[in-house]
Amino acid sequence: MNYEEAVELKNKNEHLIGQKYRGGTIEELIIRPTNQKEFEAFSKSYLRTMDAELSIQPFIGNDLTVDAVCDRAKIRTNNIFFRTEIGNLLDEQLDVKF
């Protein structure tokens, strides 16, 4: 999806923040590149800055998706980046809006 579509999807699903997902708590929805190499570059920036908006800027013209990020504190303390594509939340019967 393009950037505008990703922003719309993210905004429609802000209500998911704070909900439980597989033992964690959804703390943030982020827009990220779908391409693996681009995702690796995005991840490095995101993990360094913890700023998804800043980290996505170089990839705005590319194919994107929306992920839910759980337990952000574990990113810094344990180097665990627990995220899943927003569509996977349907498996947990969360109210995802497309």
Tokens read off for 36: 């693996």
Question: Model-level pTM?
Answer: 0.89
Return d(Cα 44, Cα 40) in angstroms, integer: 6
Report which of 92, 76, 86, 81 is spatially closest to residue 12, judged by C-alpha positions.
86
- Letter for the amino acid at 10? K
In the chain, where are the structural domains located?
A: 3-84
Q: What is the pLDDT along the chain (98 residues), one digit of tens a residue?
A: 999 999 999 999 999 999 999 888 999 999 999 999 999 999 999 999 999 999 999 999 999 999 999 988 888 788 778 899 998 888 777 888 87
